[in-house]
């Protein structure tokens, strides 16, 4: 795409809502968005746990990407029940100790409401963590349900993956939904137009080794930052896999969050199916919940609801993993400022 084409193209307007800091993939998803000329990123909002720290991490990533034009807003840290934990690298490789980084004063929930209501039918919200901010936005201003263009969610499990040896590759309880299960229930049942990308699909999108090498060889500030956090990640991944009961032999640099950012404007990477997704709260002593799905006429694929309910969202069930890795790498290694059209 040449500069003239970029200037005349209609951009996809998004808000990126992220739990950046716990897992590496939010940071590189923000970099991918910052480098994509198809996107007009209205703002980045933070969710779950220490949302002040997360906002500073997001602001630092955007500053490094030369995109200080994109504002950052602190959001809801506590789930509707329980409390928000954090574990991961929490900004290591991104923030310097005691680094002064500022962000906007407006609350993320108010920013989400205001942006959607001032631009009816224009704004897509892409969630990369708990859906707490969207749930609070719905409760504070229910009209966002009819005025959002699309909500794209990375969370949950629809078809658990088991490898040829019978070892689980996807968690039974997925991190983003389970860390604020009540928010997930509010959002999934809201009637918003939802594209839902579960982690049994994103677990087919590893960053390929030659793509990682290309990023490592590219000496721009964002590729150097991405390389630092990729190098920090493998021991953290093993700890998290052990904590959620997945075999560590399947660890990789998964591009969970960059994939859903791609889906905001590139609709050929994921194959979507209209399904009925509902929440079923299972109040065990660890308060896990489960998600049930119903694919019309093909119930043996999924944990199903026996009643054939009408589809209430589009669910990703297939992905072109190698293309995701190549597209991600192409954007990260592009000259910095690729996402700007001025
Ligand atoms: Ca995330």
Could you tell me the distance, in angstroms and rounded to a whole number, from the CA of residue 21 to the centre of ligand 1? Answer: 8
Token pair 């700890």 is found at: 239
The pLDDT score that the predictor gives to residue 238 is 77
Residue 75 belongs to a domain: yes
Percent above pLDDT 90 for the chain = 59
* CA-based nearest residue to 18, from 5, 7, 3, 28: 28
Residue 197 belongs to a domain: yes
Could you tell me the distance, in angstroms and rounded to a whole number, from the CA of residue 24 to the centre of ligand 1? Answer: 8
* CA-based nearest residue to 89, from 232, 187, 188, 207: 232
Could you tell me the distance, in angstroms and rounded to a whole number, from the CA of residue 116 to the centre of ligand 1? Answer: 22
**Mean per-residue pLDDT for 106-133?**
98
pTM: 0.89
**What span, in angstroms and rounded, lies between the C-alpha atoms of 279 and 101?**
38
- pLDDT of 295-304, one tens digit each? 433 333 333 3
Query: Which pLDDT band holds residue 98 (cuts at 50, 70, 90)?
Result: confident
- H-only helix segments in 10-131: 24-34, 51-64, 108-118
Average pLDDT in the chain: 85
Residue 109's domain comprises: 3-276+313-333
**305 vs 137: which has the higher pLDDT:** 137
Q: Biggest alpha carbon distance in the chain? A: 58
Could you tell me the distance, in angstroms and rounded to a whole number, from the CA of residue 155 to the centre of ligand 1? Answer: 9
Could you tell me the distance, in angstroms and rounded to a whole number, from the CA of residue 316 to the centre of ligand 1? Answer: 17
Residue 302 belongs to a domain: no
- Alpha carbon of 123 to those of 3, 95, 116, 189: distances in Å? 24, 30, 6, 20
**What span, in angstroms and rounded, lies between the C-alpha atoms of 105 and 340?**
25
Residue 267 belongs to a domain: yes
**Spatial contact of 251 and 238, defined as CB atoms under 8 Å apart:** yes
Could you tell me the distance, in angstroms and rounded to a whole number, from the CA of residue 216 to the centre of ligand 1? Answer: 22
Secondary structure class of 129 (helix, strand, coil): coil
**Spatial contact of 332 and 218, defined as CB atoms under 8 Å apart:** yes
Total tally of structural domains belonging to the chain:
1
Residue 210 belongs to a domain: yes
Q: Record the tokens describing residue 97, joined without a space.
A: 């100790």
Could you tell me the distance, in angstroms and rounded to a whole number, from the CA of residue 26 to the centre of ligand 1? Answer: 5
**What span, in angstroms and rounded, lies between the C-alpha atoms of 338 and 34?**
8
Of 157-161, 200-204, 240-244, 276-280, the least confident: 240-244
Q: 329: number of CA atoms within 13 Å, CB side? A: 23
Residue 292 belongs to a domain: no
Q: Record the tokens describing residue 243, joined without a space.
A: 């904590």
**288 vs 196: which has the higher pLDDT:** 196
Could you tell me the distance, in angstroms and rounded to a whole number, from the CA of residue 29 to the centre of ligand 1? Answer: 9
Could you tell me the distance, in angstroms and rounded to a whole number, from the CA of residue 298 to the centre of ligand 1? Answer: 30
Could you tell me the distance, in angstroms and rounded to a whole number, from the CA of residue 43 to the centre of ligand 1? Answer: 16
* CA-based nearest residue to 247, from 128, 161, 178, 154: 161
- pLDDT of 197-238, one tens digit each? 998 899 899 999 999 999 999 999 999 999 999 998 887 777
Which CATH number fits the domain that encloses residue 149? Answer: 3.90.245.10
**What span, in angstroms and rounded, lies between the C-alpha atoms of 177 and 153?**
10
Could you tell me the distance, in angstroms and rounded to a whole number, from the CA of residue 257 to the centre of ligand 1? Answer: 6
- pLDDT of 2-54, one tens digit each? 656 655 678 999 999 999 988 889 999 999 999 999 999 999 999 998 999 99
Could you tell me the distance, in angstroms and rounded to a whole number, from the CA of residue 301 to the centre of ligand 1? Answer: 27
Residue 285 belongs to a domain: no
Could you tell me the distance, in angstroms and rounded to a whole number, from the CA of residue 297 to the centre of ligand 1? Answer: 33
The pLDDT score that the predictor gives to residue 286 is 40
Burial class (CB in 10 A: 0-12, 13-18, 19+), 307: exposed
Residue 83 belongs to a domain: yes
Which residues have CB less than 5 Å away from ligand 1 (the ion)? 19, 26, 128-129, 257
The pLDDT score that the predictor gives to residue 3 is 59
Could you tell me the distance, in angstroms and rounded to a whole number, from the CA of residue 47 to the centre of ligand 1? Answer: 9
Could you tell me the distance, in angstroms and rounded to a whole number, from the CA of residue 7 to the centre of ligand 1? Answer: 31
DSSP bridge pairs for 274? 314
């Amino acid at each position: 795409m040449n500069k003239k084409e970029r200037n005349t193209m209609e951009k996809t307007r998004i808000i990126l809502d992220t739990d950046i800091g716990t897992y590496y993939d939010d940071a590189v998803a923000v970099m991918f968005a910052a480098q994509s000329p198809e996107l007009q990123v209205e703002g980045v909002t933070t969710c779950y746990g220490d949302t002040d720290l997360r906002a500073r991490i997001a602001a630092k990533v955007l500053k490094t990407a030369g995109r200080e034009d994109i504002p950052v807003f602190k959001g809801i840290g506590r789930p509707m029940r329980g409390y928000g934990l954090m574990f991961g690298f929490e900004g290591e490789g991104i923030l310097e100790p005691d680094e002064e980084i500022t962000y906007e004063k407006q609350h993320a929930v108010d920013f989400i409401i205001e942006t959607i209501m001032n631009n009816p039918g224009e704004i897509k919200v892409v969630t990369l963590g708990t859906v707490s901010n969207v749930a609070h936005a719905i409760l504070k201003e229910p009209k966002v349900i009819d005025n959002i263009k699309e909500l794209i969610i990375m969370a949950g499990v629809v078809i658990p993956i088991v490898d040829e040896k019978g070892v689980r590759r996807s968690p039974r309880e997925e991190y983003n939904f389970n860390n604020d299960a009540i928010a997930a229930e509010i959002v999934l049942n809201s009637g918003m137009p939802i594209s839902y990308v579960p982690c049994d699909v994103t677990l087919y999108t590893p960053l390929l080794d030659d793509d990682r090498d290309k990023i490592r060889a590219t000496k721009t500030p964002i590729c150097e930052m991405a390389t630092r956090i990729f190098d920090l990640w493998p021991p953290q991944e093993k700890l998290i896999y052990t904590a959620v009961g997945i075999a560590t032999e399947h660890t990789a640099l998964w591009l969970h969050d960059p994939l859903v950012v791609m889906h905001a404007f590139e609709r050929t990477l994921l194959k979507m199916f209209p399904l009925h997704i509902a929440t079923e709260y299972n109040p065990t002593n660890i308060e896990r919940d489960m998600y049930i799905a119903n694919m019309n006429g093909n119930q043996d694929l999924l944990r199903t609801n026996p009643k054939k309910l009408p589809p209430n969202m589009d669910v990703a069930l297939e992905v072109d993993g190698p293309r995701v890795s190549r597209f991600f790498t192409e954007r990260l290694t592009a000259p910095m400022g690729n996402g700007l059209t001025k």
